Chain A
């Protein structure tokens, strides 16, 4: 079975400060990992993914994520937060070793960037 945990329901950060949104995962094989962002009353927008290779993945809008296999984590980061980054962020996993093709999502983290 595959699962994702986002330990923080809410993250607040001041504009211009670095931000981190945490994600840990559990899979039986190796993971494919994804980050999506959701704005109010909208669908999910793809930010970035880790499939293989470099542990640091760069994505859209200045976001990046670091894959850490030993800690089974895939934290989302941005060096300097913008007020417009305020949204709901979801981490998702797919198990490379299994037959599952669906994404399993975490419960989401509401990011608020304060001006």
Chain B
């Protein structure tokens, strides 16, 4: 049973560019959440997708956007990259949105903005 997978593993971009990160949820999961983990910090919630809609959003600017596909996979897009966007981006999947669900995390995508 495959767990949560993310691609690419590493990415280097320059300021002002745009980036797309991808996530495939664990088998049987229909909900995807994205988190940003800056160096030395805990993960910060970006947004959550369920039934192809953004259900909740954290305190991130509109430069951060996402999408969920019918097969439950998801993309995170970041426009107009800033140096401060350099971080580990984590995708987590879960079953439903009841609140009791456990989120399972992928290995992350390390984004470096130069």
Report the count of interface residues on B (CB-CB < 8 A). 26
- Chain A, interface size: which category? 20 to 34
- Given A32-B100, A101-B97, A102-B56, answer yes or no on A44-B45 (Cβ-Cβ < 8 Å): no
Is B71 close to A, CB under 8 A?
no
| A108 CA to B43 CA, complexed, in Å | 9
B70 interface residue, CB < 8 Å from A?
no
**Alpha-carbon distance A107/B48, docked complex (angstroms):** 21
- Find out whether the CB atom of B105 lies under 8 angstroms from the CB atom of A43: yes
Q: Is the beta-carbon distance between A96 and B99 smaller than 8 angstroms?
A: yes
A90/B43 in contact, CB under 8 A: yes
- Is A101 touching B55 in the complex (CB atoms < 8 A)? yes
For residues 13 through 59 of chain B, which have their beta carbon under 8 Å from a beta carbon of chain A?
33, 40-45, 48, 55-56, 58
Q: Which residues of A contact B108 (CB under 8 A)?
A: 42-43
Residues from chain A with a CB closer than 8 A to the CB of B90 are 43-44
Q: Is the CB of B107 within 8 A of A43?
A: yes
| Chain A residues whose C-beta falls within 8 Å of the C-beta of B79 in the assembled complex | none
B66 cross-chain contacts in A, Cβ below 8 A: none
Known: A32-B99, A44-B90, A49-B102. A104 touches B45 (CB 8 A): yes
List of B residues within 8 angstroms of A41 by Cβ:
110
Decide if A45 is an interface residue (CB 8 Å cutoff): yes
Determine which residue in A4, A44, A51 has the highest number of CB atoms from chain B within 10 A of its CB, and name it. A44
User: B-facing mask of A88-105, CB < 8 A → 1, else 0?
Assistant: 001010101001111111
B residues whose Cβ falls under 8 Å from a Cβ of A: 4, 6, 33, 40-45, 48, 55-56, 58, 90, 92, 97, 99-100, 102-108, 110
A positions within 8 Å CB-CB of B: 4, 32, 34, 36, 41-46, 49, 51, 90, 92, 94, 96, 99-108
6 more A-B contacts (CB under 8 A) besides A45-B105, A99-B56, A107-B41?
A: A46-B102, A92-B42, A100-B56, A102-B58, A105-B44, A108-B41
